[in-house]
Amino acid sequence: MEINGRTRTCGLFGNPVEHTMSPAIHHFLAEKTGQNLAYLPWCVPQGALPDAVKGALAMDFLGVNVTVPYKNDVIPLLSEVDELAARIGAVNTLVRVGSGFKGYNTDMPGLYRAMRSDGVTFEGEKFLILGAGGAARAVAMMLAEKSVKEIRILNRSFSKAADVAGEINGYLGRELVLPMELSAWRELPAGERFTVIQATNVGMYPKVEDAVIEEPGFYEKVKIGYDLIYNPMETKFMKLVRQSGGEAFHGFKMLLYQGILAFELWTGEKISEELAGLTYAHLLQEMKK
């Protein structure tokens, strides 16, 4: 990669950012598409996000990714917010528009593309979501728009699960999302198997020996388990799914596709599935280093 006077800058705002794989995605895509683009991670201290956004505008950044803990905090700092991002309530991609940034959410379209590429079906299917935080809420909103038959949110705090379910059901105007306490999984209909999305940070490196639910009986109800975590590449949740005969996937492809969608928004390039596959292979190599 050559840096010169025509190089456009993109970056990542978050805290921490040391673990990010995003530069590997964007520099590989830039090389393959001939874009003169540099991507840098920036650790933004608490309270400094407004200054970071102003600085990115002043220095004419082409675009910015936003990660935890700032996906909600960044919204008031934007000149526009995409409709999908507004519904989800989280922004992870900023695109320069005039004198400001427009906010998008590429996480959920990225998750959808990742799951589709792994053979997951949506229409008429029943889903369980483990967790009721911001990621779980976004996943539930994504699923609600994909003609799924039913969504159950399982969380240690029933009230939080009920809040998310109520919000999404209110948006839909019908009862699609059902809240449950995590310990109530035994009340799930007998004989049914579900697609389960693990949307908590339980099992994330370095606490790799933990899972939200440990009981083998739960995993007998899982036909597909999708963990949003991608480090480690096989979480305890995934191991338990596979031990009970289900298929299990990690969040690495979600990372890939959210990055591809951001790159497309910034550059106008359309990334083919062939190039997406090459980028995925490149990321796997980088993870092993």
Give residue-wise pLDDT tens across range 230-260: 888 899 999 999 999 999 999 999 999 999 9
Q: What is the pLDDT of residue 271?
A: 97
Give me the pLDDT at residue 50, please. 98
How confident is the model at residue 138, as a pLDDT? 92
**How many Å apart are CA 46 and CA 43, to the nearest integer?**
10
Of residues 111, 205, 121, 221, the one with CA closest to residue 213:
221
Domain limits of the chain?
A: 8-105+253-288, 109-250
Same CATH fold assignment for domains 8-105+253-288 and 109-250: yes
Q: So which residues are the catalytic ones?
A: 71
Q: Which amino acid is at 139?
A: V
What parts of the chain have a pLDDT lower than 50? none
Token match 């975590």: residue? 229
| β pairing state of 37-43 and 126-130 | unpaired
Q: At what angle do helices 22-33 and 273-288 cross, to 10 degrees?
A: 140
Query: Residue 85 — φ and ψ, nearest 5°?
Result: -60, -35
Residues in the chain: 289
Beta partners for 154? Answer: 130, 180
Q: What pLDDT score was predicted for residue 284? A: 92
Write out the CATH class of domain 8-105+253-288.
alpha beta
Architecture of the CATH domain 109-250:
3-Layer(aba) Sandwich (3.40)
Inter-residue contact 265 to 105 (CB < 8 Å): no
Joined together, the tokens standing for residue 69 give 């803990």
Global confidence as pTM = 0.91
pLDDT of residue 205: 78
Handedness of CA 13, 16, 22, 26 (dihedral sign): positive
